[in-house]
Chains A and B, each alone.
Chain A
Amino acid sequence: MSLKLLTTSALAIAAFSASTALARDQVQIAGSSTVLPYAAIVAEAFGENFDYPTPVVESGGSSAGLKRFCDGVGENTIDIANASRQIKASELEVCAANGVSDIIEVRVGYDGIVFASDIDGEAFAFSPTDWYRALSDKIVVDGAIIENPYTMWNEVNPDFPAQPIQAFVPGTKHGTREVFEDKVILAGCEASGDFEVMKAAMGDDKKAAERSCITLRTDGKSVDIDGDYTETLARIDSNKDGIGVFGLAFYENNTDALQVAPMSGVVPSTESISSGEYPVSRPLYFYVKKAHIGVIPGLKEFAEFFVLDEIAGPDGPLAEYGLVSDPELANTQAVVADEQVLGSGS
């Protein structure tokens, strides 16, 4: 083993590392772990049917993905951010400040958020009010705002079995969390009439009352899960009293371990979500950096491929996996084909 050889190879690698800005030829995607399986299915089919390399899909959560998306323009930034919620105004500002101004928003379909517990455990039928009263930090009892006193489900609602309250909800970096807060906790807060009491107590400050509603208790009855649904499932597996928040697709792939609870009397399914009966659903998006179209080979083709009827339509592989297809898919296809950016009207 000659020292010379080693030194030369080391130098070669060092020099190689220094020669940066090598053209990237595959699409890079990051973001929501809810969208990840769909994006992976599309990426795989894209790699099979086109001569472009298979795109790379990373997870990390909607907020983390959008943050990386807004880091700037260039080959070392991602091309597409997956999100299980719409991009926020504050995120658009960060994007604009970093030079990411032309963003194409693509809605791929809808996803239901389901509440599921261990398959051998007690059955539940929830309403948003039950969740609000079980998990909110402060609730109204007899007209007074107090710290949440409940420890058992039957205290929240006499119809429920006497089972300790233990909920596993998505952490704050997940887009699912916002939908959960918005469509379940806040809806329950309003439905139970507590919202009005809180608003009155806070001097008619609507924002403060909302914040007070959606602040979850921190005494261990509600546990934030920062990882993926697999972690939630593992928690329920080890704590049979636990009730977790999942995406519909995840539940449908684990029907042998989980039982789902109806929400407001509706059992979640692709049908009840697309008809709008099931209350807790949200649209799924991906965002494309227009500046990268034409620079990164295959980017536009991938975006177009994603929203094809054969892929995202009601009979496509995405629907088969659990996506609720978008009835207005034709509009989305037009948005991608014309590269309509956010804020350009339409």
Chain B
Amino acid sequence: MRITHKIGIASAAFGLAFAAPAARAADPIKIGVIAETSAISGVGIPNAAKMAAEEINAKGGVNGRMIEIVDYDDHSSAADAVRAFQRAAQQDKVAAVIASYISEVVLALEPWAGRLKMPLITPGAASNEITKRVHDDYDHMKYVFHGYLASTQLSDVVCEAGKALMVNDLKMKTAVIMSEDAAWTIPLDEEYVKCLPASGLKVLDHIRLSPDTTDFTPIFNKIEGEKPDVIVTGISHVGVQPTVQWQQQQVPMPMYGIASQATNATFWKDTNGAADGVIFNMVAAPDVAVTAKTIPFAKAYKEKYGSLPGYAAYQSYDEVFMWAEAIRKAGGTDPDKMVEAMEKTDYVGTIGRIEFLPKDNTFAHGMKIGEGYITGLMVQWQNGNPVTIWPANVATGKMVFPAFTKLPQ
């Protein structure tokens, strides 16, 4: 069947011949997954989705139908992603799509989800705009769900943990915000500026850097000149390079906050160990039983793919189960009924208990956060391993910093 497709596209592309649409068996329920597989944060998305599908199928599938994951590589480009999304909806007839960890890509897909009435969820993009659009234009955008924390929610987690770790434990008083110039950091920074002082960290400066930056020396020197106690990060497109340069230049203050690349298992190797001491946010970690499902998933993933899952993989895994559940409840793949069923989700996944916020909330179709739901973790790279240090009730270790770090006395 794949071959018929190929010939079809080939002949059409050259305008030489007609190709009849290939006949399709109605059997499996298809779920499209769009992500860049050569990016470490991206490759976990299809991998984890396939694991979830196998598990569902092993138990008999959904309403007797198997789940099939169809994956598309978008090279992290919005244009490629839109094409992949159109293909998923119109050619491959998927029932729902799980897409990308990049806000720019998800925001480009969002109008198409509305136009093509295709249920869509993102396992890793953070922009507030995603849920804001659902809130502002519910009738068109209701097909979109946000399966990861919004930027503002991420800042809140960092601030709350910062109060315990930085202010109470380490007696810190001041911070400089260092974040990359991108869509998702605009609300992140706005919230940092508000919530860091509330937690007891005075914000001395707020530095935004181009995501294309390769030489971070001037940035670190500038920060050091301002003598903060800690650097609060908001980085995702960059990560390896600032970390390595931070260690090489022996910048004396810790890096703490959001650093998506640091969530990947290979980060230690990519940085040659420079990651030692870096503290970053995750919603689930391989060493913490956030729920009973977290550790078994991380273990099974490592067994299957050879490395621990990156941050988006956890959500991607849960999202396949949630779509399957929504299809089961809706009794089929009618998009409007699926959305209705998805809105009633109450599911305990690898990242916590997931419920979606109602349409009148500013974070409409975003996840509910807080005690008993999604809380978030702070994790630190220590000696080659990610160690969870916050919240205290699930922590598996204490903070340890490299020798060049100077903590306030």
Query: Do the two chains bind?
Result: no
Point out residues on A near B: beta carbons under 8 Å: none
